[in-house]
């Protein structure tokens, strides 16, 4: 699709220009390897390399225009160079302009938080579909436009991909879009230029310190989502998390709160929490839901509050929400015809793991054992490894530490980091089996009727990433297979 450079750069803060702004570009790229003849190349400083190093390559591949932060000494002839203070921010606006500002044509709600984003946006997407609307969703599990699934590679896609997806939503007549907003996406300006109608803060707890380096930076990156909301939008925060209030400090948006503990605009009380589901009292009305665990009360309440803030009918919303299934791989019960309770969950943070294990603990009625299989991702926050391990041993009778996407790291190093969190008295209940299939098999071999097996960390993922390769691996399939093996 062709577009005039000056139109593509509309609202981008330019510090200098060299060349023709009236030229027509054939597309936009921020990766030189993907540049085609006539494209605009946006040079972005990344975490690994600096995109400015690839300007020459982009021009060789046919780039006609370049957005950069530093003008080269000798800009190439016949190529227009424009400088801006922050290329990644410019990229967000450019991507939005290039795709016709699709977010402004949708009612767009972003959900941020360490845990609960996928669950909440999935509930919202399904809710609005069942209310009869055309709607889209961008999530860790999948991107969906009405009923069309588009595989997802990130929790929040890069600026070009996400605007392209939203343009498709507009084309498919979607009125609503619900998206997860990761802290990486905020920090890297993937969401710059989007026009939000509302944003939700779920919670913040230990994660991603490899990237943000300090917890304060992590909080501040989430806060930026709320700081940059327009006055016409809403900011909905969980006040049971003490950082909820911080999110509201500088927002221009209309402020709303939800929670289980304090006086909030949207308040719920857990009446019943069991393997059958959750019974919540929401603002005085009792409703059953299919999701399990107190933590899911927050996700359900947030989805309910968003629907109300988007002016949907309260009764209808609660009725529809009540029938919805959880997102795939979130507290998913694996049925294999045995009396063992087998669960797959995406808990990959200390807080998530503790929530899930506490939930399971609360359901114990006798001497059943809890057997947990868990690992920690490679090339990710190392500090959370011993913390997750200590939570696993605290709440389980037996624990098997295993691989979870070791990526470029040695499996042994990750498992050693985890073992540092296991106090001496707990070592005897701990096994280390790096091969995840073997670990699940061992858990199944140890389990007796009514015991509970939790396989945590990978949820819906259908791969194991080792040294740049993604091998097929699905906890849900392996767990079922192994349960069946030991049943016969």
Ligand X SMILES: CC(=O)N[C@H]1[C@@H](OP(=O)(O)OP(=O)(O)OC[C@H]2O[C@@H](n3ccc(=O)[nH]c3=O)[C@H](O)[C@@H]2O)O[C@H](CO)[C@@H](O)[C@@H]1O[C@H](C)C(=O)N[C@@H](C)C(=O)N[C@H](CCC(=O)O)C(=O)O
Summarize the annotated binding site for meso-2,6-diaminopimelate as residue ranges.
380, 404-407, 457, 461
The partner in contact with residue 116, picked from ligand API, Mg ion, ligand ATP, none with C-beta cut-offs of 5 to 8 angstroms by kind, is ligand ATP
Least Å distance between CB 474 and ligand API?
A: 12
Least Å distance between CB 298 and ligand X?
A: 17
Least Å distance between CB 329 and Mg ion?
A: 10
Residue nearest to ligand X (CB): 46
- Angle formed at CA 22 by CA 101 and CA 52, multiple of 5 degrees: 75
The partner in contact with residue 356, picked from ligand X, ligand ATP, ligand API, none with C-beta cut-offs of 5 to 8 angstroms by kind, is ligand ATP
Q: Is 311 left (phi over 0), alpha (psi -120 to 50) or beta?
A: left
Q: Going residue by residue from 90 to 119, which x/- string records binding to ligand ATP, judged by CB under 6 A?
A: -----------------------x-xxxxx
Which of 176, 218, 295, 304 is the binder for ligand ATP (CB under 6 A)? 295
Torsion of the alpha carbons at 402, 404, 405 and 406, rounded to the nearest 10: -40
Binding residues for ligand API restricted to 320-359, rule: CB under 6 A: 348
Binding residues for Mg ion restricted to 100-139, rule: CB under 5 A: 117-118
Least Å distance between CB 161 and ligand API?
A: 16
Binding residues for ligand API restricted to 453-482, rule: CB under 6 A: 457-458, 461
Strands 80-84 and 65-68, by their bridges, are parallel
Least Å distance between CB 275 and Mg ion?
A: 24
Rounded to an integer, what distance in angstroms lies between the CA atom of residue 229 and that of residue 90?
A: 18
Rounded to an integer, what distance in angstroms lies between the CA atom of residue 459 and that of residue 316?
A: 30
Binding residues for ligand X restricted to 141-180, rule: CB under 6 A: 154-156, 158
H helices of 151-214, in order, are 159-171, 183-187, 209-212
Tokens encoding 39? 């494209």
Piece of the chain touching ligand X by CB under 6 A; list 31-39, 74-82, 93-101, 426-434: 31-39
- Angle formed at CA 291 by CA 386 and CA 264, multiple of 5 degrees: 85
356 is a contact residue toward ligand ATP (CB under 6 A)? yes
Give every CB contact of residue 271 below 8 A, 6+ residues apart in sequence: 279, 280, 281, 286
Binding residues for ligand ATP restricted to 1-40, rule: CB under 6 A: none
What sign does the CA torsion over 297, 477, 357, 435 have? negative
The partner in contact with residue 107, picked from ligand API, Mg ion, ligand X, none with C-beta cut-offs of 5 to 8 angstroms by kind, is none
**Residue 183 burial class via C-beta count within 10 angstroms: exposed 0-12, middle 13-18, buried 19 and up:** buried
Nearer to ligand X, 154 or 437 (CB): 154
Q: Going residue by residue from 339 to 368, which x/- string records binding to ligand X, judged by CB under 6 A?
A: ------------------------------
Which H or E run includes 406?
none
Binding residues for ligand ATP restricted to 170-199, rule: CB under 6 A: 180
Least Å distance between CB 330 and ligand ATP?
A: 4
Tokens encoding 351? 């807080």
Tokens encoding 443? 């858990």
Contact 66, 82 (CB under 8 A): yes
Rounded to an integer, what distance in angstroms lies between the CA atom of residue 258 and that of residue 140?
A: 24
Binding site for ligand API (CB under 6 A): 155, 348, 377, 380, 404-405, 457-458, 461
């Amino acid at each position: 699709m062709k577009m005039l450079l000056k139109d593509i750069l509309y609202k981008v803060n330019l510090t200098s220009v060299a060349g023709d702004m009236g030229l027509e570009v054939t597309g936009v790229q921020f990766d030189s390897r993907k540049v085609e003849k006539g494209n605009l190349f946006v040079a972005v400083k990344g975490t690994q390399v600096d995109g400015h190093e690839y300007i020459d390559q982009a021009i060789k591949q046919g780039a006609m225009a370049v957005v950069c932060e530093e003008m080269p000494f000798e800009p190439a002839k016949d190529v227009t160079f424009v400088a801006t203070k922050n290329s990644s921010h410019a990229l967000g606006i450019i991507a939005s302009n290039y795709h016709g500002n699709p977010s402004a044509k949708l009612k767009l709600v972003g959900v941020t938080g360490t845990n609960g984003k996928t669950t909440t946006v999935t509930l919202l997407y399904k809710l609005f579909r069942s209310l009869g609307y055309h709607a889209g969703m961008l999530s860790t599990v999948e991107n969906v436009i009405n009923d069309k699934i588009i595989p997802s590679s990130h929790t929040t896609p890069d600026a070009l991909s996400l605007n392209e997806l939203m343009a498709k939503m507009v084309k498919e007549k979607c009125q609503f879009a619900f998206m997860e907003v990761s802290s990486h996406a905020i920090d890297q300006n993937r969401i710059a230029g989007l026009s939000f109608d509302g944003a939700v803060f779920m919670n913040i707890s230990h994660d991603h310190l490899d990237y943000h380096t300090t917890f304060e930076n992590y909080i501040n990156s989430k806060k930026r989502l709320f700081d940059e909301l327009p006055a016409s939008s809403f900011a909905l925060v969980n006040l049971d998390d003490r950082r909820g209030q911080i999110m509201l400090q500088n927002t221009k948006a209309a402020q709303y709160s939800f929670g289980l503990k304090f006086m909030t605009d949207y308040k719920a009380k857990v009446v019943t929490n069991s393997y059958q589901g959750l019974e919540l009292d929401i603002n005085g009305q009792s409703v059953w839901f299919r999701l399990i665990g107190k933590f899911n009360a927050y996700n359900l309440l947030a989805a309910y509050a968003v629907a109300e803030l988007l002016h949907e009918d309260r009764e209808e919303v609660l009725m529809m929400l009540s029938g919805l299934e959880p997102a795939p791989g979130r507290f998913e019960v694996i049925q294999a015809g045995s009396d063992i309770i087998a669960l797959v969950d995406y808990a990959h943070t200390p807080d998530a793991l503790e929530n899930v294990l506490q939930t399971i603990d609360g359901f114990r009625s006798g001497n059943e054992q809890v057997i947990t299989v868990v690992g920690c991702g490679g090339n990710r926050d190392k500090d959370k490894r011993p913390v997750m391990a200590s939570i696993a041993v605290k709440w389980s009778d037996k624990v098997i530490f295993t691989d979870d996407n070791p990526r470029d790291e040695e499996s042994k190093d990750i498992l050693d980091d985890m073992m540092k969190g296991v106090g001496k008295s707990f070592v005897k209940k701990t096994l280390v089996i790096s091969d995840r299939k073997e670990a699940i098999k061992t858990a199944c071999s140890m389990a007796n009727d009514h015991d509970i097996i939790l396989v945590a960390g990978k949820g819906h993922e259908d791969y194991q990433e080792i040294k740049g390769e993604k091998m097929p691996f699905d906890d849900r399939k392996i767990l079922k297979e192994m349960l069946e093996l030991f049943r016969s």
